[in-house]
């Protein structure tokens, strides 16, 4: 049926979104990848921990992802399943590999993600810094994508990014509103509430 990768926020159970709380309530089964995520979920519902060992050993990583994909898929083929993760599920999360593996093996399972407050933005409130210039987020790997805010001239911005080696582009405007527009046909003009997402090849 449906598998939802659910953002649980950066560590405080009060920093879950209303939508996350509703989905936890409606889900038939909830999985989490560790104790911190479990603590964020427990005020709202029960959950099962799936073990994701922290290792660089590729064979262990492969075995783990295969096993966990099987466990989650076995539930998600006939139920609404949530997989809760610290922060946001689409940023440096266990869910990225898990969803790719489930998608490969069980293409009929619908997989969605619901954003959570990421540590990438939440830290600023805790350490009292304000950022209003471009900044870099890194885990030590090569830079693979760029997010351009206020993309009022998307095509022009894209042309500049092609020079920097970016090859794939998605224009996203007024997200999560009734006027949302998401397209890879990059327009000449964009609204102030817009983002141009650019990525390089892996
Ligand atoms: C696997 S990544 C998960 C990121 C997460 N998906 C997010 O959106 O915040 C784990 C890294 O996120 C950062 N992180 C997550 N939660 C944090 C917190 N409460 N305080 C500080 N750093 C945090 C740390 O750098 C940690 O090593």
Q: What is the pLDDT of residues 138-162, one digit of tens each?
A: 999 999 999 999 999 999 999 999 9
Nearest-angstrom CA–CA distance, 157 and 83: 36
Q: Is 93 in the pocket of ligand 1 (CB under 6 A)?
A: yes
Nearest-angstrom CA–CA distance, 169 and 177: 21
Q: Do the beta carbons of residue 21 and residue 73 sit within 8 Å?
A: no
pLDDT on residue 201: 84
pLDDT on residue 202: 75
Q: What is the pLDDT of residues 4-25, one digit of tens each?
A: 999 999 999 999 999 999 999 9
Which atom number of ligand 1 is nearest to the Cα of residue 11? 19
Question: How sure is the predictor about 1, in pLDDT bands with cuts at 50, 70 and 90?
Answer: confident
Q: What is the pLDDT of residues 52-111, one digit of tens each?
A: 998 889 999 999 999 999 999 999 999 999 999 999 999 999 999 999 999 999 999 999
DSSP class per residue in 99-130: HHHHHHH-TTSEEEEE----HHHHHHHHHT--
pLDDT on residue 49: 97
What average pLDDT does range 180-201 have in this prediction? 97
What residue owns the CA closest to ligand 1's atom 21? 119
Q: Strand 181-183 and strand 168-173: pairing?
A: antiparallel
Q: Is 10 in the pocket of ligand 1 (CB under 6 A)?
A: yes
**Pocket residue to mutate for ligand 1, from 35, 40, 119, 121, most atoms within 8 A of Cβ:** 119
pLDDT on residue 130: 98
CATH of range 2-120; options 3.40.50.360, 3.40.50.620, 3.40.50.10710, 3.40.1010.10: 3.40.1010.10
Q: Strand 168-173 and strand 194-199: pairing?
A: antiparallel
- Compute the CA torsion angle 17, 21, 22, 23 (nearest 10 deg): 100
Q: What is the pLDDT of residues 108-121, one digit of tens each?
A: 999 999 999 999 99
Q: Considering the entire predicted model, what is its pTM?
A: 0.94
Q: Does residue 180 carry a pLDDT above 90?
A: yes
DSSP-derived 3-state class of residue 141: coil
What DSSP element (H or E) covers 44?
none
What sign does the CA torsion over 185, 117, 37, 141 have? positive
What residue owns the CA closest to ligand 1's atom 19? 10
What average pLDDT does range 157-179 have in this prediction? 97
Distance from the CA of 42 to the center of ligand 1, in angstroms? 19
Q: Do the beta carbons of residue 148 and residue 116 sit within 8 Å?
A: no
How is the chain split into domains, by residue range? 2-120, 145-199
């Amino acid at each position: 049926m449906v598998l939802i990768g659910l953002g649980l926020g950066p560590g405080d159970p009060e920093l879950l979104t209303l939508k996350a709380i509703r989905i936890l309530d409606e889900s038939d089964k909830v999985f989490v990848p560790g104790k911190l995520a479990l603590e964020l979920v427990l005020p709202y519902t029960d959950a099962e921990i799936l073990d994701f060992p922290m290792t660089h050993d590729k064979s262990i990583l492969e075995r783990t992802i295969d096993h966990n994909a099987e466990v989650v898929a076995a539930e998600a083929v006939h139920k609404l399943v949530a997989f809760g993760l610290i922060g946001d599920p689409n940023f440096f999360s266990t869910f990225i590999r898990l969803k790719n593996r489930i998608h490969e093996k069980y293409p009929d399972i619908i997989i969605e993600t619901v954003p959570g407050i990421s540590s990438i933005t939440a830290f600023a409130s805790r350490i009292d810094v304000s950022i209003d210039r471009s900044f870099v987020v890194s885990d030590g790997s090569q830079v693979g994508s760029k997010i351009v805010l206020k993309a009022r001239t998307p095509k022009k911005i894209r042309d500049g990014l092609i020079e920097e080696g970016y090859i794939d582009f998605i224009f996203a405007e007024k997200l999560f509103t009734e006027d949302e527009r998401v397209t890879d046909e990059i327009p000449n003009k964009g609204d102030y509430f817009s983002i141009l997402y650019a990525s390089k090849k892996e």
